[in-house]
Amino acid sequence: MPNCISATLSKFAVALCCVVMFSPAAATAAVSEWIPFENRAGHITIPITINGVETRAMLDSGANGSGISRRFMSRHEGGYKPGRKIRVRGVNGIYEIRLVDGVKIDMFGSSFTLNELMPSNLYTADLLIG
């Protein structure tokens, strides 16, 4: 008798999996809004807003951190807070950089504030998301 129950449960489990996998609800459950992006010089960029100014962000999963364009900051002054100082080692030696705090970002329908962004010389976007 236990084998009959086990076989019935197995058939039921397979049938339930098929219903869930092939139902119209399963087909639309994972669908999300398309996010427009551009390939700029081999970098993936997406539309964002920084402190109310429409611009672009570059996605870089290999970056050690996130940064903001010095050019953007000089063109759109205000709304930034000085962050802590860090020491950076580059090809030209070791130098101190003050990070930037309080940068308001709007992207993917969400608003949030980023802190500890490194001022950087970015050319394909104004925000580096690493």
Q: What is the pLDDT of residues 34-78, one digit of tens each?
A: 878 888 888 899 999 999 999 999 998 888 889 999 999 999 987
Q: Which fold has domain 38-129?
A: Cathepsin D, subunit A; domain 1 (2.40.70)
pLDDT for 50-61, tens place per residue?
A: 999 999 999 988
Domain locations in the chain as residue ranges: 1-31, 38-129
- Flag whether pLDDT at 86 surpasses 90: yes
Reported as a pLDDT band with limits 50, 70 and 90, residue 24 is low
- pLDDT tier, 23 (very low <50, low <70, confident <90, very high otherwise): low
The pTM (predicted TM-score) of the whole model is 0.70
In which band, very low, low, confident or very high, does the pLDDT at 1 lie, cut at 50, 70 and 90? very low
Buried b (16+ CB within 10 A) or exposed e, 23-59: eeeeeeeeeeeeeeeeeeeebbbbebebbeeebbbbe
